[in-house]
Structure 1
């Protein structure tokens, strides 16, 4: 081997070592929270971080762990029996929030999305929606209004094509929000608002993007003019991500 090649290898090795050392120093200096590193356990009460959404998506294959995280966070939930209407329409990990708990209220209360969707909704409520409501309106958020979760159908109700995430209860359509003082913020009515309600809705949409695999708003198309579509597409693989 020629001397120049040896020096080239040594230089490359030195650069790699310096980069690793630099990364370790930066990591120690910045001291990121558990939500910003991939190997720490998920805690639903932590602030939203770089890996929060991916950790929630990974709960798709971990039903008991997901339910445990909800309960550890203080939520009272009922694990429902698996639902299977057909090969395409099956919801194995539905959970329903017990009514009467102020920590997270979905209205109507009968809805039973998949556990990862409920987990993402809880973090969204605590870490995005509540702070925004307090900051913008000076009051807390009382409930999240929705149009449902499970629906055995294809996307847009077509007769052919890809099956909707609603067919596995891996989606929730949010239509509005109710504040503690009774004021309502409606997606269909207030999305074009240039004041506080419109600002809140855009913060809500943008904040959901770090927690769900797919977030569709009125900016996406006319079919979503009256709701936010939130889902954990591809059963948690996170390969398909849309935020609009």
Structure 2
């Protein structure tokens, strides 16, 4: 399939997990992929191929976003999609929560979305339009014990929903769509420390009784960054095997 032929896609957190799965699929669909990761991901870009490049950057830094935008513009001359897959979910109960821990999660899971849009939207405008996708989490609907200790994480993901809806209204005149994809528990390196029994407690409530994979999430992201989604904006697509159907 060549749904992304001629497009330039920026994927944050692309070294592993969902971000890597998204970067790989978009490259296979024809996009020139820019992997943005805190640590160097040149080896991942080389493995993906198709002209993918990597930029080591801190997505919570406006200065680094300016450098990302400058590199993308000088290399490709445009940007067509921005997928925010970078994120963190350290556990901390109310008693354990410190202002530093709270701000750290908010900076990565929410502030970075705004900084990225501010830096990359001008390139999308020059290209005549584009798509922004925020990778959220179906934890925003979690009312069972696995949700305990994640108040900063869930709050940041709820904030991203609000930002998606607001930017969808603000950027529609520029032919830029803005949406979110909310995965369930996914089989990634980030979830490797979660006990299998706890994972099963969740996915056995799903309609599809297994863990999701990065490829399961990448497909919906590919749709939302393709021309097929040009009339879809301000939406949250839940991709969790049917957990939130409950």
TM-score by length of 2: 0.28
The structure carrying a bigger helix percent of its residues is: 2
TM-score by length of 1: 0.29
Comparing both chains, which one has the higher relative contact order based on Cα–Cα distances under 8 Å and sequence gaps of 6 or more?
2
